[in-house]
Amino acid sequence: MLKQKTSKHSSSRKGSSSSQPTPGFLFIANKLVIHNPGRDDYLHLIPPSSPNYYRGEVPSKVMRYKNGEVSEAADWRWYRDASTLPASEGQLLRVDARGNCITDQYGQVYPAEEYKTFGVAACNPLLPIMVTEHDPLVTISNWELLRVFHPPSIPGLSQLSTITSTMGPGPGPLLHVAGRNPAWIPGLLPLTYKAPRRDAPHSAGLGGELPIVLGLMALNASPGSVMSNHSIDSVFLGHNRLWRHGAWTSPDAPRGRMLSIRLLI
């Protein structure tokens, strides 16, 4: 889940211009561990719909996006017992330097406010990306193919969505991007999402549901061992991270992997 935080800036000197609030957010990209995968009508492996068919999750570090950069948010920690499924919703809590939860004078913790949660999966090279609009470990999931909304007012702009996502006026979302020659295919979306028409407008960018965009980035992490999620650091953190200075730098297609992306305020 990603939650958006705003930081306040003010000017104390007369005559200086005051800065606008800089939006930011916290997010986690937890690896989902499957016990019994599902199958579609053609017997392709797909994410299971029931929480009981998972083995749990491997949390990522809590990360903070601000001013175009991602850093580790060491003052926050994800808390949830996913050993028994269906799992609880879980909480992102403030912690001190020793990792203990910070509480107020009444002993209450400081949870971050959830904005949105999505499950995102890259099943295999023959299938498009699949998404579900909530936490797959909590309740029954309706996994669906990732859709792309084409806003008529901005030709070439691709907005990632589900069937039920709230978008602007226009036709229903499609299974391909709006513009041709996007720099982020196949880096974020498989080649199956290329615009089919030669006369399509040039790509005007990628947007839409932010947790899905982050999920597509996270799918580029190497699988690693089943119960490890350290490879997610190579995508968002460190000197050689794949997303830096607001630009996506990997040309590789998403790997077979499943994630729960939480956006928090």
| Residue-level pLDDT, tens digit, the chain, 265 residues | 333 333 333 333 333 444 565 679 999 999 999 999 999 888 889 999 999 999 999 999 999 999 889 999 999 999 999 989 999 999 999 999 999 999 999 999 999 999 999 999 998 766 779 999 999 999 999 999 999 999 999 999 999 999 999 998 999 999 999 999 999 999 999 999 999 999 999 999 999 999 999 999 999 998 788 899 999 999 999 889 999 888 888 888 887 788 999 998 6
pTM for the full model? Answer: 0.88
Q: How far apart are CA 91 and CA 17, in angstroms?
A: 38
CB-based contacts of 213: which residues, under 8 Å, 6+ apart? 160, 188, 206, 207
pLDDT of residue 235: 95
CA angle 56, 223, 111 (to 5 degrees): 45
pLDDT of residue 137: 98
Q: How far apart are CA 111 and CA 83, in angstroms?
A: 21
Q: What distances in angstroms separate CA 164 from CA 80, 146, 172, 205, 239, one per listed residue? A: 28, 11, 10, 22, 38
pLDDT of residue 22: 65
pLDDT of residue 3: 31
Sheet strand arrangement including 206-208: 147-149, 158-161, 206-208
Instruction: Count other Cβ atoms within 10 Å, centred on residue 103.
Output: 12
pLDDT of residue 21: 58
* Length of the chain measured in residues: 265
Element (H, E) at 42: none
pLDDT of residue 123: 83
Residue 152 burial by CB count (10 A; 0-12/13-18/19+): exposed, middle or buried? exposed
